[in-house]
Structure 1
Amino acid sequence: MPIFYKIQKYLKKPHNLILVMMVIVLGYLTLLPMLSMLKDTVTVHNAEAMRLKLPVGAFTWAHWKKVLFDSSSISIFYKPFLNSLITSLGACAVALVLGGTFSWLVTRTNMKWKSALSSLCIFPYIMPSWTLALAWYNIFKNDVVGGVPGLFSALTGLRTPNWLAYGPFPIALVTGLHYAPFAYIMIGGILRNMDANLEEAAMMLNTPRSRIIRKITIPMVIPAILSTFLLVFSSAMSSFAVPTFLGLPVRYTVLTTQLYRTLNGLNPGQGYCIALIMIILGVSILAMNQRITGIRKNYTTVTGKSSNISLINLRRLRTPISVAVAVVLVCVSILPLISFALESIIFYPGNYSPSTYTLQFWIGSAEQNSIANSEPGLLLNPRSARKLI
Structure 2
Amino acid sequence: MSPQQSQDHTDDGLGGEQPFMSHLAELRDRLLRMVIAIAVVFLVLFPFANEIYTFVAGPIRAQLPEGSQMIATQVASPFLTPFKLALVVAVFVAMPYLLYQFWAFVAPGLYTHEKRLAVPLVSSSIVLFYLGMAFAYFVVFPLVFRFFTAVTPEGVAQMPDIAFYLEFVLKLFFAFGIAFEIPIATILLVAVGATTPKALAQKRPYVIVGVFVAGMLLTPPDVVSQTLLAIPMWLLFEAGIFFSRWFEKRQPTAAPDPDPAPAGGAGGGNPGSGGSSPAGSSRGGGGQPGSGPPGGGAVVGREIDGGDMDEPGRYRPMTAEEMDAELDAIEAEEAADAEAAQTPDEPDADDAAVSKSPEQARIEELIRSANERRAEGDTASARSLLYLVLEEGDADQRRVARNILADLDRD
TM-score for both structures, normalised by structure 2 = 0.21
- Bigger RCO of structures 1 and 2 (CA < 8 A, at least 6 apart): 1
TM-score for both structures, normalised by structure 1 = 0.21
Q: Which has the larger radius of gyration?
A: 2
